[in-house]
């Protein structure tokens, strides 16, 4: 895993503490050594970096080494410390994303989603549903599923901002006549076109609860109902990504619930919890670091010296920074930050407004700059080619959070407040904040201002994209 010196990183373990886990371990004494180094080298600029949450410990350490190589320069009195926060003992989230590829290969799931596609496409009136009001053919669906981005072109053949060809009488399927008709149609469709396997399911089939064929027909109808409701509410993520979100939510809810996104967010809070009554490796690592940083700033001020502190958060690293800012504001009043850089932030918009924007309003940091993808590029960043065909931020919004179409800070389609997103108060506030600060929409490699460039076309590339890194270096 390399031999990166411990003065360049802090490893966060179980419950946000220093507890020894994984292959890399940081202790309180290692953090003491970081501040001894800052004193010894008279460091005047400290860069603090948080990687995204969906990376392994190994990749987190690789990112820390990249940050060291790019930003640390003792001659310029500039140092960088990366927070490497593990997602779990077997990197739960990454593993389960990989599992999606296997799940979608199972015949039963494949056939069930085919019927969902037929029902939804017919109701939406997709032009290729022959004659209008007819079902997409098996051939069309098969051809689309062999594309890296299935149904991408079909999305453009109808109003992708919402549906107008049908109405739902009640959102609760138990009282909806529309749903009752949809379930009846699902049964008839599967009876007419279903394979022998799906029509003659055994009760012990691992893919479904007891009930066989009728359960599959109901499941197909329920998924289609969920997708169609999202079109009416205008909170979908385009055709195929929405079908896949709702299919996985319904059929593999147990796996979705174990993906670890909530645990990751919890850890970003725990690392900054109080250390009162705690000692040694049981202490929360983020709080221990901030305590020493607070004292370090006080000592430099007393000595007539200055230090500028920069924060960089990639993806879920933005969540950790929001919690760092809240902890700083509450407990460490000697610390002030210079720039905050968010790279494709995966934090919720409401979290940032509560903990990030308020921190800047109260003078905790001076400048803010966000790097993220322009909407069309975000939708071309295929998180799982052939399966989930928008970026990770869309998957977070549509599947990882408690509600569908959760408002995620880095989603350009949301924060530019146009069309279906024009009336959300939190997005209007975020748009105002972003407009008052600095925004880099990738790709932009020719901007006259060299601190406003980025060439990242994938969510995971922002923290190793040379144009983005140069822009940050120019900014600081």
Residue 134 covered by a domain: yes
Is 288 in the same domain as 177?
Answer: no
Q: Which residues pair with 83 in a beta bridge?
A: 10, 50
Is 237 in the same domain as 269?
Answer: no
Q: pLDDT digits over 440-476, tens only?
A: 999 999 999 999 999 999 998 999 999 999 999 999 9
383 contacts 393 by C-beta, under 8 angstroms: no
Residue 453 covered by a domain: yes
Residue 56 covered by a domain: yes
Which residues of the chain fall short of a pLDDT of 50?
88-95, 97, 129-131, 160-162, 203-211
User: In angstroms, rounded to a whole number, what is the distance separating the alpha carbons of residues 63 and 60?
Assistant: 5
Residue 98 covered by a domain: no
For residue 141, give its domain range: 103-257
- Only one residue has tokens 């909806």, namely 176
**How big is the chain, counted in residues?**
476
Residue 180 covered by a domain: yes
| Tokens found for residue 340 | 């905050």
Residue 308 covered by a domain: yes
pLDDT at site 210: 43
Dihedral sign computed on CA atoms, order 115, 233, 133, 237:
negative
Is 28 in the same domain as 154?
Answer: no
137 contacts 130 by C-beta, under 8 angstroms: yes
Is 190 in the same domain as 284?
Answer: no
Is 45 in the same domain as 63?
Answer: yes
pLDDT at site 197: 75
Instruction: Report CA dihedral (262, 239, 414, 398) to the nearest 10 degrees.
Output: -10
Is 125 in the same domain as 169?
Answer: yes
pLDDT at site 324: 98
335 contacts 294 by C-beta, under 8 angstroms: yes
Is 215 in the same domain as 79?
Answer: no
Give the count of alpha carbons within 13 A of 195, CB side only. 12
pLDDT at site 127: 60
Distances (CA, A) of 421 to 234, 356, 412, 427: 9, 21, 11, 8
How many domains does the chain fold into? Answer: 2
Is 271 in the same domain as 405?
Answer: yes
Report the b/e string of 450-471 with b at 16+ CB within 10 A. Answer: eebbbbbebbbbbbebebbbbb
Final residue before a domain boundary, out of 208, 242, 257: 257
What is the distance, to the nearest Å, from the Cα of residue 280 to the centroid of all Cα atoms in its chain? 33
Q: Which residues pair with 276 in a beta bridge?
A: none
Residue 97 covered by a domain: no
Is 240 in the same domain as 305?
Answer: no
User: In angstroms, rounded to a whole number, what is the distance separating the alpha carbons of residues 102 and 117?
Assistant: 20
Final residue before a domain boundary, out of 203, 227, 257: 257
pLDDT at site 107: 67
Residue 1 covered by a domain: no
């Amino acid at each position: 895993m390399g031999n990166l010196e411990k003065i360049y990183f802090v490893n966060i373990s179980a419950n946000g503490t220093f507890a020894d886990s994984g292959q890399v371990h940081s202790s309180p004494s290692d953090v003491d050594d970081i501040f001894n180094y800052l004193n010894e080298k008279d460091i005047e600029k400290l860069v603090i970096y948080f990687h995204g949450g969906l990376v392994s410990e190994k990749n987190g350490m690789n990112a820390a080494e990249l940050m060291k190589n790019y930003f640390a320069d003792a001659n310029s009195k500039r140092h960088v410390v990366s927070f490497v926060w593990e997602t779990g003992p077997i990197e739960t989230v990454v593993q389960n994303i990989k599992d999606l590829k296997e799940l979608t290969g199972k015949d039963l799931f494949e056939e069930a989603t085919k019927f969902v596609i037929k029902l939804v496409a017919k109701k939406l009136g997709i032009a290729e549903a022959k004659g209008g009001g007819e079902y997409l053919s098996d051939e069309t669906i098969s051809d689309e599923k062999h594309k890296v981005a299935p149904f991408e072109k079909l999305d453009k053949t109808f109003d992708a901002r919402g549906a107008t060809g049908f109405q739902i009488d009640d959102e609760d399927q138990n009282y909806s006549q529309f749903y009752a008709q949809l379930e009846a149609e699902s049964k008839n469709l599967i009876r007419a076109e279903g394979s022998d396997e799906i029509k003659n399911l055994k009760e012990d089939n691992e893919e479904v609860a007891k009930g066989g064929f009728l359960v599959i027909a109901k499941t197909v109808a329920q998924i289609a109902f969920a997708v169609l409701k999202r079109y009416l509410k205008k909170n979908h993520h385009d055709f195929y990504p929405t079908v896949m979100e709702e299919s996985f939510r319904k059929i593999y809810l147990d796996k979705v619930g174990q993906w670890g996104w909530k645990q990751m967010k919890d850890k970003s809070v725990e690392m900054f919890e109080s250390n009162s009554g705690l000692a040694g490796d049981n202490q929360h690592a983020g709080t221990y670091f901030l305590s020493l940083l607070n004292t370090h700033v006080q000592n430099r001020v007393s000595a007539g010296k200055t230090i500028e502190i920069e924060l960089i958060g990639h993806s879920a690293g933005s969540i950790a920074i929001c919690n760092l800012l809240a902890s700083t504001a509450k407990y460490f009043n000697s610390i002030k930050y210079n720039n905050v850089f968010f790279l494709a932030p995966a934090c919720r918009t409401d979290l940032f407004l509560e903990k990030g924007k308020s921190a800047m309003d109260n003078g905790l940091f001076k400048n803010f700059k966000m790097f993220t993808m322009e909407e069309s590029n975000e939708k071309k960043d295929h998180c799982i080619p052939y399966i989930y065909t928008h970026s990770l931020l869309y998957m977070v919004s549509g599947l990882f959070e408690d509600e569908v179409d959760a408002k995620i800070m880095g989603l350009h389609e949301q924060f530019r407040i146009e069309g279906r997103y024009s009336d959300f108060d939190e997005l209007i506030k975020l748009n105002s904040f972003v407009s008052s600060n600095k925004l880099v929409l990738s790709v932009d490699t020719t901007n006259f201002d060299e601190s406003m460039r980025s060439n990242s076309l994938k969510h995971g590339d922002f923290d190793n994209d040379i144009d983005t890194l140069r822009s940050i270096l120019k900014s600081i």
